[in-house]
Structure 1
Amino acid sequence: MMTNLFSVFDPSTNIMNLSLNWLSTFLGILILPPYFWFMPSRHHILWVKITSTLHQEFKTLLGPSSQNGSTFMFISLFILILFNNFLGLFPYIFTSTSHLSLSLTLALPLWLSFMIYGWINHTQHMFAHLVPQGTPPILMPFMVCIETISNIIRPGTLAVRLTANMIAGHLLLTLLGNTGSSLSSSLLILLIFGQLMLITLEVAVSIIQSYVFAVLSTLYSSEVN
């Protein structure tokens, strides 16, 4: 029976015909207790350093008019996506961030809440944002259409960027791994070396994509103030 090529990313974990794939998203809860009981540990100090750096950077992006504590929402978003991206690098673990059902669920409510808040509280600023400064009068109707379309597709671009980047590397790893059984010993060594390099690249992509998602969400939030 023919199956979809992307079905390799959906390991079947069922109990009484109930899919348990999405429970992998909550595996991070098992790692939380050591951070509370064994402090200060090296891992805890490193994580506090990372979150403090992210807090300072997001605070700069949001500007001085932002609400206190607003950066923690984006730091939590970064941690959630980063953890799920790393989980996908382990074998037989469902990669939730390679599906639009998760990434669009994160992007759409964020964008919608920013838009509702901006249009209700800063209506004049939102209208002014549709026409960039210095636009000739004859081009203003076209710029309004372009800015409106680019604003509407923002949650889609956020979700598709994360999903496509996560699934592309995994798909390449899967396709290369399937050819290993038909290769000679010398080519197999090259294949293993190439797979290790791709895994290293995927680790970097996991970090970068979670950072990009959080930073773009922060920038979209700063535009409505």
Structure 2
Amino acid sequence: MKPTNEQEEFELIEDYLLGKLNQQNKALFEEDLKNDIELNKKVEKIQQTMNLLKESAIQDSILKTIRDLQKEDRPTVPEPEIIPQHDIIIHKPFKKIIYWVGASAAASVMFILYLSLASIYLPDTEYDFNITRGIDSTKFTPEQRVAFSSFFDGQAHLAEGRYWLAVKDFQKSLEVKSIRPYFKEAAEWHLALAYVKSNQPRKAEEIYKKFASCTNCEYPVDTMNRWKLWWRIFWAKLV
């Protein structure tokens, strides 16, 4: 049976990589892999992450921890706790993760560092026909031209580290109402990333929560990059 949402797709990929699919479902999934470039990319990314976690034998504990933290996602700023013998300050959410994964603390730190430091990749859009699919570029209205121009300016400013300018660009792009849903979602995801980069996590969170409950979204952001964005938002609210 084909997955009907992102969570089901993630679980299907996970079962495939863990060898849990029966022969029939495995054959069907591999047939899909032959014809779906995006699915291949998702499998590759999840495989890379699973390899990282497998090496430290904490896969189940880490994933449970991330999901539990996502459910709690408390907005209050925790007080740091001092560990005298090492003179280190550790925030409670960080301690909670280490506590839950027990003896594999070093590996959990490695995974958290990955979530904290690895680049967030949003699907390419500059040459993506989906942005303008079904629209004759010679017939753009002036407003639509502003939307597209502002969006690509925002991408450039993100790449240059000029995050406040990127925020303004994506906001300007979203002011135009006559753009197709795929492009609107792409602009919103990029705006969320720009908010995080410009130290505005609560504004980023508003956008993230909107897509967390979306069942018919068009712009495909994979699970791992959603987690990375969520973690940056979660942590930025604490510091």
Q: Say yes or no: TM over 0.5.
A: no
Query: Higher Cα Rg: structure 1 or 2?
Result: 1
Q: Greater relative contact order: 1 or 2 (C-alpha under 8 angstroms, separation 6 or more)?
A: 1
TM-score for both structures, normalised by structure 2: 0.25
